[in-house]
Amino acid sequence: MAKSIVIVEDDPDQRANYADAITKKGYEVTAFGSRTEALEGIERELPDLAILDIILGEEVDGGFQLCRELLSLAPSLPVIFLTERIDEIDKISGLRLGAWDYLPKPISLDYLAERIASLLRIDEARLVAASDANDNSKQIGDLSIDEDALLVSWRGERIDLSGTEFRMLAKLVRQPGHAVSYEVLMNATMQSLVTNNTINTHMRNIRKKFEKADSEFSAIKSEYGFGYRWSQL
């Protein structure tokens, strides 16, 4: 069965171009022009991935609000922001909300299709592994991490991380107790235009997800001016 993609874009020409290009890649595409229309449609049937513009009609932050609403319905839903708003503060805001990727307009339609395929592969690997009886996870104190399946749990409770967050965590816990530099963590994101602030934002998101499972979580330590360290001590 074809994977389902939702596109939320208020510009009708861009919406049609994205929908046409992604449909030609073999996906089932549903496109919406407003936040309320999209939310109504998605509540009826969840997609496998959502692509959101930020400015939706008169709602200058409509995409941010929609992302919050979608992730409250499905916390592990892969969300991509595709927008002309490329200021760092907007990118940080999108990542804090839990988006898996943040892409600037204009964009190559072929590149967009590859990003979609990549995120869906990550998501599918996690779902397959979750139902697999074989346990290839590595135990680090109270943390269980399976790098093949992209699965993480803390004290037996699954932690839903985005692909970027998972890669950063994997780097961080490879040598528990050792500080990991910003540069190493930047490389782990596999993204362009990554700054220290971007890394800090990702780390805050990761911490929040662990703290949701355990209010006393404190294993991620900041190393001022250098990076981060994983330590349960």
Domain co-membership, 60 together with 108: yes
Residue 44 is predicted with a pLDDT of: 87
Where does a domain end: 91, 126, 161?
Answer: 126
Average pLDDT of span 191-195: 79
Query: How many domains does the chain fold into?
Result: 2
Average pLDDT of span 80-109: 92
Residue 133 is predicted with a pLDDT of: 39
Domain co-membership, 121 together with 193: no
CATH number at residue 174: 1.10.10.10
Domain co-membership, 11 together with 61: yes
Domain co-membership, 110 together with 144: no
Question: What band does 14 get if pLDDT is binned at 50, 70 and 90?
Answer: very high
Average pLDDT of span 62-74: 92
Average pLDDT of span 125-150: 73
Domain co-membership, 116 together with 194: no
Domain co-membership, 118 together with 143: no
Residue 58 is predicted with a pLDDT of: 93
**Helix, coil or strand: residue 110:** helix
Higher pLDDT, 19 or 1: 19
- pLDDT above 60 for 134: no
Dist CA 144 CA 149 (whole Å):
12
Average pLDDT of span 48-58: 96
**CB contact burial 170-182 (16+ within 10 A = b; e otherwise):** bbbbeeeeebbeb
Domain co-membership, 33 together with 104: yes
Domain co-membership, 30 together with 142: no
CATH number at residue 122: 3.40.50.2300
Dist CA 214 CA 212 (whole Å):
6
Domain co-membership, 25 together with 113: yes
Domain co-membership, 148 together with 104: no
- pLDDT above 80 for 136: no
Structural domain range at position 98: 4-126
Where does a domain end: 70, 104, 126?
Answer: 126
Domain co-membership, 102 together with 159: no
Question: What band does 131 get if pLDDT is binned at 50, 70 and 90?
Answer: low
Domain co-membership, 35 together with 148: no
Q: pTM score > 0.85 for this model?
A: no
Mean pLDDT of the chain: 90
